[in-house]
Amino acid sequence: MKMLIGTICLFFYFSTAGAAMAGEKTVIGETAWIQVAQLPFAFLARIDTGARTTSIHAVDIQISDANAVAHENIGKTISFKTANRDGKFQTLTTDIVQVSTIRNSQGTEQRYVIELPLSYEHKQKKVLVNLRDRSRMKYKLLIGRNWLAGDFLVDVDLKAEKQ
């Protein structure tokens, strides 16, 4: 009997501890409408806990005084066009903060990385975002663990509300 009561007490302790942790974090679904501060539209983004870094659709990339060696472009100004799922295009201009080597199912590639403030339900975080042509992909913004960490819990049963 004592063991049963002890087990029940432990269950309630860990259940309430988990609830307290969840209360401090925002629950987000497998997709969500994410706003990029510099853009007039939101992205229906894919939330990907398997991705370490956030990635945004980027085409027509232009670098001021570009060097053929990608790492030599860190600190330079980069301009690119991005579009949301509805095909609304906008040009973004910012500085390159680093170059990342990304390994995925297509192989290994180098991508420019910028810093962007992204927000969801009034919670804004500034994170590193790599640039990639996501034209063939359904989601033009992929949210990785670098944006989720510390502030969000992912519930794959939640669906993004239409915006």
CB 115 within 8 A of CB 97: yes
Q: Can you give the CATH number for the domain in which 84 is found?
A: 2.40.70.10
Q: How far apart are CA 116 and CA 127, in angstroms?
A: 6
15 in a domain, yes or no? no
What is the sign, positive or negative, of the torsion defined by CA atoms of 37, 41, 43, 44? Answer: positive
6 in a domain, yes or no? no
Whole-model pTM: value is 0.81
Taking CA atoms, 147 is separated from 3, 14, 58, 117, 127, in Å, by: 42, 26, 19, 10, 6
21 in a domain, yes or no? no
110 in a domain, yes or no? yes
141 in a domain, yes or no? yes
Q: Is 8 exposed, middle or buried (0-12, 13-18, 19+ CB in 10 A)?
A: exposed
**What is the residue range of 136's domain?**
27-154
34 in a domain, yes or no? yes
Q: How far apart are CA 54 and CA 130, in angstroms?
A: 6
Q: Find the helix or strand (DSSP H, E) in which 21 lies.
A: helix 2-24
Per-residue confidence of the chain (163 residues) as pLDDT tens digits? Answer: 555 444 444 344 443 334 434 568 999 999 999 999 989 889 999 999 999 999 999 999 999 999 999 999 999 999 999 998 778 899 999 999 999 998 877 788 899 999 999 999 989 999 999 999 999 999 999 999 999 999 999 999 887 776 5
Q: How far apart are CA 49 and CA 51, in angstroms?
A: 5
> Which two tokens mark 43?
């992205």
> Which two tokens mark 88?
């609304």
18 in a domain, yes or no? no
Query: What pLDDT is attached to residue 18?
Result: 40
108 in a domain, yes or no? yes
Q: How many domains does the chain have?
A: 1
Query: What pLDDT is attached to residue 162?
Result: 61
